[in-house]
Amino acid sequence: MFDGAHVSAALTMGCMDHHAVRNVEGVDPHLSITRSSAASPLPLPPVLLLHGFGSSSRQNWLDTGWVRYLNEAGRSVIAVDLPAHGDSAAPEDRGAYTPSRMRADILQALFDERVLPLRDGDPTSGVDIIGYSLGSRLAWEFGATQPEIVRRMVLGGPGTADPLADFDLDGAERFLAGGPPPQDPTTADLLRMAQAGEQADLPALLAMVTAIKTEPFDPQAAVPRMPLLLVAGDQDDYAGGIEDLRRWAADAAVTTLPGRNHSNAITARLFKDAALDFLS
User: Running DSSP on this structure, what letter comes out for residue 181?
Assistant: P
Burial of residue 258 (number of CB atoms within 10 Å: 0-12, 13-18, 19+): exposed
CA atoms within 13 A on the CB side of 164: 27
Burial of residue 23 (number of CB atoms within 10 Å: 0-12, 13-18, 19+): exposed
Quote the CA–CA distance of 242 and 210 in Å, as a whole number.
Answer: 25
How far, in Å, are 24, 135, 138 from residue 106 at the CA level?
9, 11, 9
- pTM attached to this predicted model: 0.88
Tally Cβ neighbours within 10 Å of residue 40: 9
User: Tell me: the pLDDT tens digits for 94-152?
Assistant: 899 999 999 999 999 999 999 999 999 999 999 999 999 999 999 999 999 999 999 99
Quote the CA–CA distance of 253 and 36 in Å, as a whole number.
Answer: 28
pLDDT: which is higher, 21 or 36: 36
Which strands, in side-by-side order, build the sheet including 18-22?
Answer: 18-22, 31-36, 77-81, 47-50, 127-132, 150-156, 228-233, 252-257
Residue ranges of domains in the chain, CATH in brackets:
4-279 (3.40.50.1820)
Q: Can you give the pLDDT at residue 201?
A: 81
pLDDT band of 30, cuts 50, 70, 90: confident
How far, in Å, are 93, 121, 264 from residue 26 at the CA level?
11, 34, 36
Q: Can you give the pLDDT at residue 82?
A: 95
Dihedral sign from CA coordinates of 164, 219, 97, 215: negative
Q: Can you give the pLDDT at residue 192?
A: 82
Are 165 and 238 within 8 A, CB to CB?
no
